[in-house]
Amino acid sequence: MGRVVLLWMLLCASAQASELMERLAALEQDPARREQAYAAAQERVLLCSKCHGKDGNSTREHIPNLAGQNPQYLFDAFEQYVDGQRTDFVMNQAARLLTLNERVNIAYYFSQQKVLPRTEAAPDKALVERGAQRFASVCATCHGANALGHDGFPRIAGQSRVYLTHALQRYRNKDPSRAGSPMLAVAALLDEDDVSALSAYLSQLQP
Ligand code: HEC
Ligand code: HEC
């Protein structure tokens, strides 16, 4: 019984992912539909803008940027908030308010926004250097040489130090809010100093 349910869930997940890819490809080929999706999202993201900013550059350090994020990652994040694999009090409710179509439009909209340089004080150079080395050896294979990610791998360049530190600590602590993430195994390789060096390095990466 459990297995059947699991198989069904996997089928639904991959059906939704390919549905997303189809819809995104259709948008890319059709300027009129692209404009429509963008306009529809612009209205809907009023719900999100207080926290994530109208252009996806977040308004608070503990809230992630959505600007320039890969649409597939954004879409997957909505799915995880909807089905409860990823837990956050606000985001579980916000994601459940959106229809499939709205999630596609919103993922497209935020992926098109530009990430602004951070306004916090620039981090210490030696720390940034250490972070760059750790990143190149442990993280770049999945997140890309410039931390821009691709497909389901998130862009992490230009997020705030506070958010990055918090996210990495959660993975290190095997926090149940991020259950099932491939980052749990990665974070087990990091100590406190790595976390602060990586967060410093990633936060100051320019678009
Ligand atoms: C009250 C503030 C608030 C509002 C409103 C809000 N969010 Fe969020 N959002 C957050 C916080 C905080 C997180 C980080 C939670 C976590 O770590 O899982 C987050 C995480 C996310 C993520 C995951 C990003 C990542 O880098 O992993 C996505 C996608 C997202 N929000 C989209 C939206 C959308 C779309 C809306 C509007 C429909 C919205 N949010 C409304 C606060 C908010
Ligand atoms: C095996 C591939 C892989 C490696 C290696 C990897 N990551 Fe990730 N990372 C992912 C995936 C996939 C996600 C998104 C989904 C999730 O958390 O389950 C992610 C998510 C993240 C997030 C959360 C992003 C957000 O917006 O909430 C951060 C921060 C992060 N990774 C940093 C790193 C750092 C720093 C390293 C190197 C120490 C690293 N990752 C190495 C695959 C990887």
- Residues in contact with ligand 2 (CB, 6 Å cut-off): 64, 138-139, 141-143, 152-154, 156, 164, 167-168, 178, 181-183, 186, 190, 198
Distance CA 121, CA 30 (A): 42
Confidence band, pLDDT 50/70/90 cuts, at residue 176: very high
Q: Which of 42, 45, 52 to mutate to test the pocket of ligand 1 (most atoms within 8 A of CB)?
A: 52
Confidence band, pLDDT 50/70/90 cuts, at residue 19: confident
- Cα separation values, 80 from 30, 110, 189, Å: 29, 18, 25
Record the tokens describing residue 109, joined without a space.
Answer: 């909209």
Distance CA 10, CA 15 (A): 8
Residue 1, pLDDT above cutoff 50: no
**Mean pLDDT, the chain, as a whole number?**
91
Distance CA 98, CA 146 (A): 32
Atom of ligand 1 nearest to the CA of 98: 38
52 lines ligand 1 (CB under 6 A): yes
- Of 114, 92, 107, 88, nearest to 45 by C-alpha is 107
Q: Which of 42, 46, 51, 162 to mutate to test the pocket of ligand 1 (most atoms within 8 A of CB)?
A: 51
Q: Which of 73, 78, 142, 190 to mutate to test the pocket of ligand 2 (most atoms within 8 A of CB)?
A: 142
Distance CA 186, CA 198 (A): 13
What's residue 110's pLDDT?
Answer: 97
Give the model confidence (pLDDT) of 92-123 as tens digits: 999 999 999 999 999 999 999 999 998 888 89
Confidence band, pLDDT 50/70/90 cuts, at residue 6: low
Amino acid at 117: P
Record the tokens describing residue 34, joined without a space.
Answer: 């692209």
Residue 191, pLDDT above cutoff 70: yes
Give the model confidence (pLDDT) of 125-164 as tens digits: 999 999 999 999 999 999 999 999 998 999 999 999 999 9
What's residue 22's pLDDT?
Answer: 83
Residue 142 exposure: Cα atoms within 13 Å on the Cβ side:
11
Q: Which ligand is nearest to the CA of 41?
A: 1
Report how far ligand 2's centroid is from the alpha carbon of 29 (Å). Answer: 30
Amino acid at 104: V
Atom 33 of ligand 1, residue of closest alpha carbon: 48
Identify whether the C-beta of residue 40 lies closer than 8 Å to the C-beta of residue 102: yes
Give the model confidence (pLDDT) of 31-90 as tens digits: 999 999 999 999 999 999 999 999 999 999 999 999 999 999 999 999 999 999 999 999
What's residue 23's pLDDT?
Answer: 83
Residues of the chain with pLDDT > 70: what percent? Answer: 92
What's residue 8's pLDDT?
Answer: 57
